[in-house]
Structure 1
Amino acid sequence: MNPKKNLLKMKRLIYIAPLFLFSACADELDSTNKILTPTITSPAAFANVSGEVTVKTLVTPEDQFSSLELLLDGETVATLTENPASFAWQTDGLTDAHTILAIAKNKDGDSYQSEKVTVYIEEESEDNINPFVNITSPASFVTIDGDVTISATAHDDSGIERVIFYTNGDSLTELTSEPYTYVWDTNGLSGTYSITARAYDTSGNFAEAYPASVTVNPKDEFAPTVYIAQPANFDKVEGIVKIVASASDNKGVENVVFYIDSDSVGVDSEAPYEYSWDTNGLSGTFAISAKATDLSGNFSFAYPASVEIEEVIPYVQILSPAQFEILTGQASIVSQIEEIESVDSLRFFVDGVFTEIAFQNLETINYNTNLIPNGNHTFLVKVFAGEQVQNSQVVTVVIQN
C-alpha cells in the first residue's frame, strides 16, 4: 500500500464530510421553519357565550401562512386568508357545548391543527326593563336665552342605543353615544318650552325623562330711542313751557326723565311724555334733554334742544276809571294785564300810599272813595313778580262824595 495515496484519500474525506453534514442540517432546518402553529385566541376555552360571538385566530410563523380553515363542531364554516383573522359566529338558537377548531396550511400545502376550544352557549333572557334617562341641564323653571346646552344622563343594563331630545314635542337631535348633550339655539324664540329626552336600549325598550320647563326670554341689548319733540331747537320761549319727548323701545319704555342744563327736573312714566317748565324769572339760553329707560334697564339720552328765554315784562293798563273821571262811593279799579302768567300780585296805591294787594283777581280792585276827601287824587297800580315791580300805571280821578 502506498502511504502517500492513503494520505490523499483521507484528506479528501475530511473535506467532503462537512459538506454532506451541512446539507442534511439545512434540509432539516428548512422543514422545521415550515411548521405552523394555529391558535384560537378568542373565545377562551370553556367560556360562556351568547348572541354573536367573534372567533379570533392567530397563526405563527406568519411568513409561511397560506390559509386557515375554521371548523365548528367538526364542520367547516369559513376559510380565512388573513392572519390574524376573525369570524362572526351567530349562536342564536344554539344551546349546550360546542367545539371550535382551526386548521392552518403553509405555502407547501401542509396542514397543522390547533387545539380544540370548547365553549358553552347561554340562553339569552328577554329584556323587559326600560332604560333610565334624566335631563340634567337646564334646570326647570329657569329663564334662558341664546345658545343653551341641553344635557341628559341615560343608562341600561343591556346598553343605550340612542337618546333623542325634544322641545314642546318636536325632535331636536338624536345621539348614539355619550355624552348626551346638544346646543339649542333659542335666538328668535320666546315663551315657555318643555324640554325632555327619550332613551332607547339595545332591546328596543324606551323611557322618557321628566320634562324641564324653561322660559326663553331673549336678552334685550337694544336701548330705547328718544328725542325732544317740543320745543324745537333754537326756539325762543317764555312763561310756562310744555316740554314733550318722544320715546319708543322694542320691549317698552319704563320712564322718561327731563333735564334742563343737566339738572333733572321731572319724570313721566306714561306717554305722552311731558313736563311743564316754568321759565318765569329766567332768561338766557338753556339746553333741554331727556333720558329714556326701557324695561330691561337700557337707556339713552335725547339730543339736547337749545332754547332761549326772553325776559318778559308784563304790561298793565287801567281801563277804569278814566283820567279825571268823577267817582263817588264804592269804586272799581279795573286793569288789563298782558303776560299775566309772569305776574304774582297787583298792588293799589292812592296818592302814593299803598292801600290794597290782590293775588288772585289781579285785574279788579274795589275801593271805598269815602275814605279820602273830595278833590283830585291819584290811583296807581303796580304789578309784581315776587317783590320785583314789573310795570305800573297811574290815573287822576275826582272824588265828589
Structure 2
Amino acid sequence: MKRYLKLFFGLMLLSISYQAHAQQIDTIFNKRDLDYATYINLVGKNNIAYSAEKFNVSIAEAEIETAKIFPDPELAFGWLDNGQRRMNMGYGFNSELTWTLELGGKRKARIDLARNEAKLTSFLLEDYFRNLRADATLAFLTGMQHRLLLDVQHNSYLQMKQLAASDSMRYKLGTISQVDARQSKLEAGTMLNEVYAAQSDWETSLMNLSLLLGEIQTDTLVCPKGNFKGFERNFSLQQLLVEAQNNRADLKAALQNKNVSKSTLSLAKANRAIDLGLTLGMENVSYVRNAIAPTPSTSTINAGISIPLKFSNNKPGELKAAQYGMLQTEFEYKQAELEIHTEVRQAYSGYLAAQKQVKQFNSGLLDEAKSILDGKTYSYQRGETSLLEVLDAQRTYNEVQQNYYQVLYNHAAALVELERAAGIWDVNF
C-alpha cells in the first residue's frame, strides 16, 4: 500500500511540474507582438524593396520633363588670319548661331510616349504592391502556423517527459520492466529534438517577417498575433472574373503597354520627317592696309537653312520594329487576360477544397484523437496496454493536430491567393 501511495504522490508532483513547464516554451529571444493590421501597414511604409520600386514612378515622371526639351542651339566663334603680315592683309572674327527645328511632331510624340510609360510604371508599382501584400500576408500566416506546430511538438514532449518520469518511478517500484522505462525516456529525447527543429522553423519564419518590415534583425523578433478565424467567404466565380478583369493592375499594365507601343510607333513615324537647320551668323574683317588694294573693315550678317538628305528613310528598321512591337503587345494582352482567368479559376477551386477540409476537421477529428490518446495513456498507467500503443496514439494525435493546423493555414492561404488573383482585398484577422 505504501508503495502505491509513493507512486500516486510522485505522479501528482510530476503533473504540477508539467503544468508549470508547459507555460515556458521560448526564452531565447525577445518578442514583439504585432497584429495583422499594424503589420501590413508597416510593410507598405517600410519595405525596402517596395520603397525602391517607388522611385521608378519618379524617374518616369522626370522623363516626361526630359521629353519636353527643345533641341539646344549651338553658338560658335572663329578667328581668321591670312598670315600675310608683310602685306598687311588684316584679320577677322566670325560668330554663328545654329538651331535644329524639329518637324513632323517629334516633340509631341516624345511627350506622349513618356506619359504613357509613366502611366505604365504606376500600374507596375500597383501590381508590385498587390503581390507584396499577399506575400507578406502569407509570411504572417506562416509565422502563426509554425508557432502552433511548435506548441504541438512541445506539448507532446512534455507529456512524454512526464510519462518517462512516471515510468522511471514505476520501474523502481517494480511495476514495469526496465525496457519500458528506457523506451519512454528514449521517446522523450526524440521528441525534444523535434521541438528544437520546430523552434528553428518558427524563428526562421519570424526573421522573414523582419525582412519584409525592413528591420535590422536584433535580439527582438516580431511575433504575429492572431488566429485562423475570419477566412470564411462566399464567392461567385463569375463575379470574381469580372473583378479581376476590372481590378488587376498587371492587366491594366498590359493594356497600357499597348498604348506605349502605339506611342512608340508614332515616334518612329515622326523621326522619319526631316528637320531643318537654322543658321544665323556674323563676320567682321579688319581694315586691309595693303598699298595695292586697300580695303576698309567690313561686317557681314548671314542667315541660312540646311535641309538634311534622309537617305536613312530607305531603311525603315525602326518603323518596322515599332509596328511588330505593337502587334506583339496585342498578343501579350490576350495572354495576360487568359492567364488571369486561369489563375482565378484555379484559386477558386483551391479555396473551395480548403473549405471542405476545414469542415471535415471541425466535425470532431481532433477530439476523437485526443480521447484515444488519453484512454491509451490511462490504460498504460494501469498496466492494461503496452507502451507501443501509447506511442502510436501519441503520434496519431500529433499528426492529426499538425494536419489540422496545415489545413487552417491552407484555407487562409487559399483566400489570400484567391483575392490576389481577383485583384480584391478584404483580408483582416
TM interval, short-chain normalised: under 0.3
TM-score (norm 1): 0.18
Larger Rg: 1
Richer in strand (by share):
1
Richer in helix (by share):
2
